[in-house]
Amino acid sequence: MVNTSVTLCGVEIDNPIIPASGTFGYGYEFAELYDINILGTFSFKGTTREPRFGNPTPRIAETASGMLNAVGLQNPGVEKVISEELPKMRKVFSKKVMANVSGFSIDDYVYICRRLDECDEVGWLEVNISCPNVHGGGMSFGTSPKSAEEVAKAVKKAVKKPVIIKLSPNVTDIAEIAKACEAGGADGVSLINTLLGMRINLRTRRPLLKNTTGGLSGPAVFPVAVRMVYQCAKAVKIPVVGMGGVASAEDVLEMMLAGATAVEVGAQNLVNPFACRDIIAELPEAMEKYGISSLRDIVGAAL
């Protein structure tokens, strides 16, 4: 009998499989298809302080072995998430959930995290620092070690629950950003967010996305994600949550060998709504195939 349980920032979960933010909504649509309580947890849709309609369409485009998206953080805002979405979610998911937070200033991050920290349903706060800093010339918080550390420090001071900082891969040295988050008090880091990309329509000779550029996700980014998880796991002592192109149980094992304590599954949920259910079902067989009795034993084994 294999052991699939892991401990993420002090919280034990049945398995390391976590649907990634923006690919699983608030869970209740997927709950119509299967019992989502089999998941380790899931990261719900990115939450901002105010409601956001998102970017104009078209905002999704297919590409070889992946997809581009420029959805633009569409969500109803933190107050409606708390008053409407979490009560609906509670009816279908009995475990602690990961709250994904997006902000355009440090005040935004602190306010949203403080509000969600008060919610019983929330077990972890996943803070997305790929957002543009409106007070810093529009540059993403996640591209500067100093900004990343400031966000981590401010949020940790305001909340009690574990804080996981979600890192952008669109940087020269992601390990430096991870170390800055650790220095700021973060309990963990998650990576990678999407890689910046674009496509052009040959007939119109214009970008396929109205936003011009978008985030590339899917199997195409998996080797990049494994490399970055490996680099960050070498650089920090806090847990790393790996993601980026994960599509199978074997991908999960590879991410964990690279240093991930838990693994998020993103774009694959949009290709196959049963992706996470299937990966969880296949995990014990994959573990036996490679002589793994406990997933805890392989975290960072390739380091």
Predicted structure pTM score: 0.97
pLDDT per position as a tens digit, 47-72: 999 999 999 999 999 999 999 999 99
* pLDDT given at position 134: 67
% of the chain beyond a pLDDT of 90: 96
pLDDT per position as a tens digit, 103-158: 999 999 999 999 999 999 999 999 999 877 767 666 789 999 999 999 999 999 99
Q: Domain extents for the chain?
A: 6-298
Sheet containing strand 214-217, edge to edge, reads: 60-63, 66-69, 214-217, 195-197
Tell me the CATH number for domain 6-298.
Answer: 3.20.20.70
Catalytic residue among 131, 181, 232, 276: 131
SS3 per residue for 207-261: ECCCCCCEEEECHHHHHHHHHHHHHHHHHCCCCEEEECCCCCHHHHHHHHHCCEE
What is the separation of C-alpha 216 from the centre of its chain, rounded to a whole number of angstroms? 14
pLDDT per position as a tens digit, 72-116: 999 999 999 999 999 999 999 999 999 999 999 999 999 999 999
The closest of 219, 267, 244, 236 to 71, measured between CA atoms, is 267
Give me the helix-helix angle, 222-235 and 249-257, nearest 10°: 30
Which single residue is written with the structure tokens 């396929």?
A: 208
**131 catalytic, yes or no?**
yes
